[in-house]
Homo-oligomer: A and B are copies of this chain.
């Protein structure tokens, strides 16, 4: 049995059952393990490295991104396919930065998952159509998610602002004067055409700059 082995990672048992069914209907693949968290996935991979890891991003506890990093840290050749509901481009980019070889959204037809699996097992990379379209749209239309018009320092400060920190806290954290933070704050609002701080937060969230899942409101 030259079947390719698969490690399935998702925190929803019912969803895992769906994956498993779909994958095992496909000749040439065999699910050798399941995990319901990123840390469990890491342990499972160390115990028995699968040829392919299929992992969700949003899970309780350690995030899927962190899970990808850890697995890649112990095995640089690991092939990891992200299969998630998030259709935001920023999520996909983060996944690739973390070391994923593929990104398929759950809205995609099952065939997309299968073909991405094939692609990746042959050493390639794969993204689902919706993400590919977003990449194309960004390139063509220049919709660089707005925040791309900002400098690195501005993005950094925007993140802190959107996370709920006060001017004083940010100034303290970055060892700058409050005046500087205020000036950045104004400049960022002007550049992003946000007349309100609330809109700033929305933009930051849309751009994937902040996590917003747990209570990371420091």
A contacts, CB < 8 Å to B: 11-19, 21-22, 58, 60, 85, 106-107, 109-110, 113, 161-166, 194-202, 205-206, 212, 215, 217
Known: A15-B18, A164-B198. 10 other contacts (CB 8 A): A12-B107, A14-B19, A16-B18, A17-B21, A18-B18, A85-B85, A161-B196, A164-B194, A164-B199, A165-B198
Assuming the contacts A166-B196, A202-B217, A205-B212, asked whether A109 and B18 have C-beta atoms less than 8 A apart, the reply is no
Instruction: Please give, as numbers and ranges, the residues of chain B lying within 8 Å of A110 by CB-CB distance.
Output: 13-14, 17
Q: B199 to A217, Cβ gap below 8 A?
A: yes
Assuming the contacts A14-B19, A14-B110, A19-B18, asked whether A206 and B197 have C-beta atoms less than 8 A apart, the reply is no
* Residue from B12, B21, B162 within 8 A of A198 (CB atoms): B162
Assuming the contacts A164-B196, A198-B200, A199-B217, asked whether A17 and B22 have C-beta atoms less than 8 A apart, the reply is yes
Assuming the contacts A21-B21, A107-B60, A196-B197, asked whether A164 and B202 have C-beta atoms less than 8 A apart, the reply is yes
For residue A163, which residue of chain B has the nearest CB?
Answer: B198
**In the complex, what distance in Å separates the CA atom of A90 from the CA atom of B136?**
37
- Minimum CB–CB distance from A193 to chain B (whole Å) comes to 11
**In the complex, what distance in Å separates the CA atom of A17 from the CA atom of B206?**
30
**In the complex, what distance in Å separates the CA atom of A199 from the CA atom of B161?**
9
**In the complex, what distance in Å separates the CA atom of A106 from the CA atom of B85?**
13
Instruction: Please give, as numbers and ranges, the residues of chain B lying within 8 Å of A12 by CB-CB distance.
Output: 85, 106-107
